[in-house]
Amino acid sequence: MPIVTTDVLEYLHRMADVLRENKEYLTELDSAIGDADHGINMDRGFQAILKKLPGLADKDVGTILKTAGMTMVSTVGGAAGPLYGTALMQAGMAVAGKHELQANDLSAALEAALKGVMMRGKSKPGEKTMIDAITPAVVAMQKALDNGAGLQGALEQAAAAAEQGMKDTIPMLALKGRASYLGERSIGHQDPGATSSYLLIRTMAEMVRESE
């Protein structure tokens, strides 16, 4: 079954709920190595996205994602707004004009989101950022599809890879953002951006599993 526009709108609703539920947890993670505002910022951004959704019901998936991205950029300060906004906008550009997404479309959108974050943040894997969760997810999803998996199976593998990538940030030395100012003291803490990225991918996998 393809992913249609109503699924994308429902996904954004669910993500807003998930981020609200995890707001304190993400902020707690960020308080150890950042500005203690990641959960607050993600919640604010997605609540703003929710207000835009009623006017997007008849739009294509690309327009929905690009609008969500622009809303993040205009609503959220710090790193979360520009990085997540860029991710959503680049994903939207990858599926511009589409009202239905097949598994390969979703994989392409995730890859475009990753490239956008890497470009905007001038970062790469291994620097203790959200990229460390998204990169293995993108690789795992495409590998699963290449091996004949369906959308649900590919997303399950992507979510598992993102979870491991998130956990792998704990022993890393932060090389980007506010956390990098801590030097060696950043070691031993899970990156909040990698955590919110994992939540995004896990929620997507859960939604597809339920629908199938």
Q: What is the pLDDT of residues 62-102, one digit of tens each?
A: 999 999 999 999 999 888 999 999 999 999 999 999 999 99
Residue 178: pLDDT over 90: no
Tell me the C-alpha distance between 106 and 99, whole Å: 12
pLDDT at 134: 98
What is the percent of the chain with per-residue pLDDT over 70, rounded to a whole number? 100
Which residue range is the domain that position 21 belongs to? 3-211
Separation of alpha carbons 48 and 183, rounded Å: 34
As a whole number, mean pLDDT of residues 112-117 equals 98
CB-count burial class (<10 Å; 0-12, 13-18, 19+) for 122: exposed
Query: What amino acid occupies position 25?
Result: Y
Q: What are phi and psi of 4, to 5 degrees?
A: -110, 175
pLDDT-based confidence at residue 33 (cuts at 50, 70, 90): confident
pLDDT value at residue 89: 98
Q: What is the pLDDT of residue 111?
A: 98
Q: Which residue has the higher pLDDT, 2 or 118?
A: 118
**Residue 187, pLDDT score:** 95
Cα Rg for the chain, rounded, in angstroms?
16
Nearest partner of 174 among 32, 19, 42, judged by Cα: 32
DSSP 179-208: GGGGGGGGTTS--HHHHHHHHHHHHHHHHH
Q: What is the pLDDT of residue 93?
A: 98
- CATH number of domain containing 169: 1.25.40.340
- The total domain count for the chain is 1
pLDDT at 157 over 90: yes
Identify the pLDDT of residue 144.
98
Q: Is the pLDDT of residue 200 over 80?
A: yes
Quote the pLDDT of residue 182: 79
**pTM given for the model:** 0.95
pLDDT of residue 1: 79
Name the nearest CA neighbour of 130 among 78, 181, 182.
78
